[in-house]
Amino acid sequence: MKTKPDLSFMKLWNISFGFFGVQIAYALQSANISRIFATLGADPHSLSYFWILPPLMGMVVQPLVGYFSDKTWTRFGRRIPYLFVGAAAAVLVMCMLPNAGSLGLSTSEVLWGFSGAMLFGLVSLMFLDTSINMAMQPFKMMVGDMVNEKQKAEAYSIQSFLCNAGSLAGYLFPILFAAIGIANTAAPGIVPDSVKWSFYVGAAILILCVIYTTANVKEYDPKEMAAFQQAANQSNATAAAAGGESSGKHALKVFFQVGLVQFFCWFAFMYMWTYTNGTIAGTAFGVDMADPNHAATQGYQDAGDWVGVLFAIQAIGSVLWAVVLPRFKNIKVAYALSLVIGGIGFLMVPYCADKYLLFVPYFLIGFAWAAMLAMPFTLVTNALEGNPRMGTYLGLFNCTICIPQIVAAALGGVLLSALGSVQGNMLMLAGVLLVAGAICVFIIQDRKAAA
C-alpha cells in the first residue's frame, strides 16, 4: 500500500514559496482598495460595495480552477500551469489598477453614480481578483495533493508563514516608498505615486516567486496519484467501519461545519479591510470624516499609509502565531482561542486614539488571521484525503470564504447607517463576529485531527 512520503522542510517550503508573491499582491489590494476608491470619489457608505467584486470573482474562479486542474496533466504538472497563467495576468492588472485616476477619464457621474475613473478601477479590480484567485488556489491544492496527513498542519503553517511574510511586505510598501521621497499625495482623484510604485514592485516580486516554485516543484504523476488515492481510500474505509459513518458523508459534514466558522470569520475581516482606514483617520489622525473632501486631505492619506503599517503588525502577529499553532495538540482549541484573541483585538481598535497604541489590537488580530489561513484547510483536506476530486472540493470550499464577504459587502452600507455612520463601530461588530465563530469551532467533528 503506497502512502505519501514525508517531505523535507525545503520541499514543503518550495511548494508554498510562490504564495509569498501572490500574497504581496493580495495585501496591496486589501490595504489600498478603500483608499483608492475613496480617492476616486466614493462615498463611505458605498465603500463596502467595491469589495463585492473580490470574493465574487473568487467564488467563480477557484471552483473552476479546481475542477479543470483535477483533469489536467502536463509535463509541468496539473496545478502549476494555472498558477503561472494567473500570476502573469495579475502582473499586468497590477500595473493598471492604481492608474485609474491618471488616464484622463471623467471624475463626474457617468453610470449608476460611478465616474469613468471608478468604472475603470472596478474593471481592473475584477480582473485583478480573477488572476489572484487563479494563482492562489493551486498552492492549497498542491499541499493537499503532495503532503501526507501527518505533515499537513506543518505544511499549511509554512504556507501561513509565507502568506503573512508577503502581506508584511505588501502592507509596508506605500509607507516605505513615501519615506524615500516618492510622493504620498496627489491632485484630487489621482492615486499617489507611492501607491502606484508599490503595485509595480509587488508585480515584479510576484512573477519571480512563481517562477521559483515552478522551477523547484515536481508534482506527482497520474500513476503515483492513483496509488496514493487507493491507499487513502482503504484507510478511510477502515475509519468508516470503526466510526459507523461513510468517508464521503463525514467529509461533507466537516465541509459545512468548518464553513459555518468561516462565515463569521470572513464577514469580520471584510469589515476590517473596508473600514480600518476611515476608523483610524478619524480617531488617530484627527480627520473630520464628515467632510465630503476628507479623502483629499493629508491626514487621510497619512492614515492610509498607517493602515499598511497596522496590517504589517497584524502580519507579524500572524507569522509568530503560525509558528505556535502546530504545537497545540488540540486543533479545535487552537482555532477557537485564536479567533477569540482576534475578536478582542477588533473590539479594542476604536478606543485607541494613539497611532502607536493601535499596534496592540492589530497584533492580536493577527492571531485570528494565522488560524484562518491554516486550520480550515487542515481540517477539510484531512477529511478529503484520497478523493480524486480534491481540487474541485477545495475550489468549492473557497465559497465559504467568498459568500460571507459578499454578504458583508452588500450589507455594509446598511449596517454602517444602523450603527450611527461611525466606521469604528463596524470593527467592533467584527470582534463580536469572531467570537461567534470561535464558539462554532466546537461543533466541528474531525476524526483525524488530534482532539
- We report the CATH number of the domain holding residue 146 as 1.20.1250.20
Q: pLDDT tens digit string along 5-57?
A: 888 999 999 998 988 998 898 888 877 777 777 777 666 666 667 667 777 77
How confident is the model over 202-222, as a mean pLDDT?
90
Say what the pLDDT of residue 42 is: 66
How confident is the model over 386-408, as a mean pLDDT?
79
Say what the pLDDT of residue 440 is: 95
pLDDT, the chain, mean: 82
Residue 382 neighbours by CB under 8 Å, 6+ apart? 149, 152, 446, 448, 449
Structural domain contains residue 448 = no
Q: How far apart are CA 374 and CA 370, in angstroms?
A: 6
Cell numbers placing 376 = 480550515
Say what the pLDDT of residue 109 is: 52
**3-state SS of the chain: helix, strand, coil percent to 5?**
75, 0, 20
C-alpha distance from residue 234 to each of 86, 126, 298, 387 (Å): 36, 43, 63, 12
Structural domain contains residue 55 = yes
Q: How far apart are CA 217 and CA 305, in angstroms?
A: 36
Angle between helices 53-70 and 80-94 in degrees, nearest 10: 150
Query: Where residue 101 falls among pLDDT bands split at 50, 70, 90?
Result: low
**Does 236 or 262 have the greater pLDDT score?**
262
> Is the pLDDT confidence value at 449 over 50?
no
Query: Where residue 287 falls among pLDDT bands split at 50, 70, 90?
Result: confident
Q: How many domains does the chain have?
A: 1
Place of cell 458583508: 408
Identify the helix (H) or strand (E) that includes residue 354. Answer: none
Give the least confident one: 73-82, 175-184, 391-400, 428-437. 391-400
Say what the pLDDT of residue 107 is: 52
> Is the pLDDT confidence value at 244 over 90?
no
Show the CA angle centred on residue 278, arms to residues 272 and 281, nearest 5°: 120
Structural domain contains residue 3 = no
Neighbours of 69 (CB within 10 A): 25
> Is the pLDDT confidence value at 451 over 60?
no
Query: Where residue 400 falls among pLDDT bands split at 50, 70, 90?
Result: confident
Structural domain contains residue 1 = no
- The whole domain housing 205 covers 9-441
Structural domain contains residue 132 = yes
What are the contacts of 178-187 at 24+ separation with CB within 8 A?
178/305, 184/301, 184/302, 184/305, 185/298, 185/301, 186/39
Q: How far apart are CA 97 and CA 123, in angstroms?
A: 9
Q: How far apart are CA 126 and CA 29, in angstroms?
A: 11
Phi, psi of 114, rounded to the nearest 5 degrees? -100, 140
Query: Where residue 103 falls among pLDDT bands split at 50, 70, 90?
Result: low
Q: How far apart are CA 63 and CA 394, in angstroms?
A: 7
Phi, psi of 258, rounded to the nearest 5 degrees? -65, -35
Q: Which residue type occupies 290?
A: A
Query: Where residue 157 falls among pLDDT bands split at 50, 70, 90?
Result: confident
Cell numbers placing 431 = 470582534
HSE-CB for 134 with a 13 A CA cutoff: 20
φ/ψ bin of 43: left (φ > 0), alpha (ψ from -120 to 50), beta (otherwise): beta
> Is the pLDDT confidence value at 1 over 60?
no
Q: How far apart are CA 442 and CA 426, in angstroms?
A: 26
Say what the pLDDT of residue 234 is: 66
> Is the pLDDT confidence value at 164 over 50?
yes
Q: How far apart are CA 64 and CA 310, in angstroms?
A: 34
Q: pLDDT tens digit string along 358-384?
A: 999 999 999 999 899 888 877 887 777
Cell numbers placing 448 = 483525524
Across 386-450, the runs of DSSP E, i.e. the strands, are none
Structural domain contains residue 447 = no
Say what the pLDDT of residue 356 is: 95
Q: How far apart are CA 380 and CA 258, in angstroms?
A: 8
